[in-house]
């Protein structure tokens, strides 16, 4: 089965089966990435426009690469250098891109909800490549894929997400995906960087997908027995003042170093959405050590985005 959905705005409305479809298709796409000639005509004649209104390396380049491997025409637009700088609104920018017959618009935007707004008004499929502190669904899909590829499953894994949970769109989308797939999640941060709803709201709330999520302010307790350790970058561009005494103090209390990693399971995987602030949330020897899957996440991101673009633009067919 291929997905029947038009948009990928967050994982909160993905069923387990849809997530599994993307991960299964990503496996086939990963095989294409290993070929000498990395090209397949699956999306020939389709146009993908990436519109990034915030900086990006991994997400923007991997969407471009994914589209090109699938033989789509890929056009990149950025906030700087476009007519956004002359004051053109998001809506008018999007209408302009749609008038160029975009089949898919991949958007990153500093404001939460911008991709949802476009999805309500445009014919093209909209993919959220990160909206403010809200959601980053393709990062979550590639994180799930990386875990499944390494462990053969996501269900039952203990995943410790450590750092700036408050401003992290990755943490939010990962939470939807991980809980749907049956992982157990512990969020760890200083109290000032934990969302109030996480601290007060969900623990034990009957039936809520986040009811089983643990919240911890002590990093040693959070890492104890973890299968996956995922430090998060401090989103200083979003933070207001007063969250932390100093970066040095944060690193001392929450940075993932070899001593702390040893508290996790012996084969625990280190993941990071990137970009990293080495020496702050993660030590270089951990970031580039034998347990790190950080570069593999980037490669997997191309395969997952290929799978998603294919699913969004190819008519669904039911399994026989
Ligand atoms: N993980 C991620 O979104 O990285 P970029 O900001 O480089 O796209």
pLDDT digits (tens, 9 = 90+) for 163-198: 999 999 999 999 999 999 999 999 999 999 998 776
pTM of the prediction? 0.94
Q: Is the pLDDT of residue 265 over 70?
A: yes
> Rounded distance, CA 169 to CA 236, Å?
13
pLDDT band at 1 (very low <50, low <70, confident <90, very high): very low
Which strand (E) or helix (H) includes residue 137?
Answer: helix 137-151
Query: Which residue did the predictor score with more confidence, 247 or 136?
Result: 136
Run of H or E residues at 300: helix 294-313
Which residue's alpha carbon is at the smallest distance from atom 1 of ligand 1?
A: 273
Give the rounded percent of residues in the chain with a pLDDT score beyond 70. Answer: 95
Residue of 50, 53, 55, 59 to mutate, ligand 1, most atoms within 8 A of C-beta: 59
CB 143, CB 176: distance < 8 Å = no
Residue 320: its pLDDT value, please? 39
Q: What 3-state class would DSSP assign to 231?
A: strand
CA 139 to ligand 1: nearest atom: 1
Closest C-alpha to ligand 1, atom 4 = 58
Q: Which mutation among 275, 276, 277, 304 tests ligand 1's pocket best, with the greatest number of atoms within 8 A of CB? A: 275
297 lines ligand 1 (CB under 6 A): no
Mean pLDDT of the chain: 92
Pocket test for ligand 1, best of 50, 57, 163, 282 (most atoms within 8 A of CB): 57
Cβ of residue 57 lying under 6 Å from some atom of ligand 1: yes
Average of pLDDT values for 21-45? 96
Residue 92 Cα to ligand 1 middle (Å): 26
* pLDDT tens-digit map of 37-83: 999 999 999 999 999 999 999 999 999 999 999 999 999 998 787 88
CA of 52 to the centre of ligand 1 (A): 11
Nearest by Cα to 237 from 169, 136, 173: 169
Chain segment 101-119, per-residue pLDDT in tens:
999 999 999 999 999 999 9
Q: Is the model's pLDDT at 236 over the cut of 80?
A: no
Asked if 33 contacts 302 with a C-beta cutoff of 8 angstroms, the reply is yes
Ligand 1 atom closest to the CA of 55, numbered from 1? 6
The per-residue pLDDT for range 134-143, each reduced to its tens digit, is: 999 999 999 9
pLDDT at 298 over 90: yes
* In the predicted structure, residue 318 carries a pLDDT above the cut 60: no
Domains and CATH numbers, the chain: 11-134+298-313 (3.40.50.1370), 137-296 (3.40.50.1370)
CB 23 within 8 A of CB 151: no
Q: Of all atoms in ligand 1, which is nearest to the CA of residue 108?
A: 8
Query: Do 79 and 53 form a contact (C-beta atoms < 8 A)?
Result: yes
Q: Give the nearest ligand 1 atom to 301 CA.
A: 1
Confidence band for 200, pLDDT divided at 50, 70 and 90: low
Q: Is the CB of 71 under 6 A from ligand 1?
A: no
Q: How far apart are CA 137 and CA 74, in angstroms?
A: 20
Neighbours of 111 (CB within 10 A): 13
Whether 275 lines ligand 1, by a CB cut-off of 6 Å, is yes
Structure token pair of residue 95: 């209408």
Ligand 1 pocket, 273 CB below 6 A?
A: yes
Mutate to test the pocket of ligand 1, among 135, 173, 273, 299 (most ligand atoms within 8 A of CB): 273
- Please report the pLDDT score of residue 316 as a whole number: 67
Per-residue pLDDT tens digits for 124-165: 999 999 999 999 999 999 999 999 999 999 999 999 999 999
């Amino acid at each position: 089965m291929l997905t029947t959905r038009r948009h990928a705005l967050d994982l909160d409305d993905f069923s387990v089966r849809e997530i599994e479809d993307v991960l299964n298709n990503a496996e086939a796409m990963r095989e294409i990435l290993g070929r000498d000639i990395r090209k397949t005509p699956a999306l020939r004649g389709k146009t993908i426009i990436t519109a990034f209104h915030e900086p990006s390396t991994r997400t923007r380049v991997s969407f471009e690469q994914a589209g090109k491997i699938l033989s789509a025409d890929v056009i990149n637009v950025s906030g700087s250098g476009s007519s956004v700088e002359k004051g053109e609104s998001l809506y008018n920018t999007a209408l302009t891109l749609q008038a160029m017959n975009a089949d898919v618009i991949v958007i990153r935007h500093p404001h939460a909800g911008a991709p949802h707004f476009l999805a309500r008004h445009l014919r093209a499929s909209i993919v959220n490549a990160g909206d403010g502190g809200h959601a980053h669904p393709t990062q979550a899909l590639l994180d799930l894929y990386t875990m499944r590829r390494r462990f053969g499953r996501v269900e039952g894994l203990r995943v410790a997400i450590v750092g700036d949970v408050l401003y992290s769109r990755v943490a939010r989308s990962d939470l939807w995906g991980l809980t749907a797939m049956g992982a157990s999640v512990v969020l760890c941060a200083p109290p000032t960087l934990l969302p109030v709803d996480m601290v007060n709201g969900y623990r034990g709330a009957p039936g809520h997908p986040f009811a089983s999520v643990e919240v911890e302010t002590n990093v040693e307790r959070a890492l104890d027995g973890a299968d996956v350790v995922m430090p998060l970058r401090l989103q200083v561009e979003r933070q207001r003042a007063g969250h932390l005494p100093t970066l040095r103090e944060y690193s001392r209390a929450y940075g993932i170093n070899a001593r702390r990693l040893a508290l996790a399971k012996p084969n625990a995987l280190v993941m990071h959405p990137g970009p990293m602030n080495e020496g702050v949330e993660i030590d270089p020897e951990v970031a580039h050590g034998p347990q790190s899957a950080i570069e593999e996440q980037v490669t997997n991101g191309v395969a997952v985005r290929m799978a998603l673009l294919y699913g969004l633009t190819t008519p669904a067919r039911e399994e026989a």
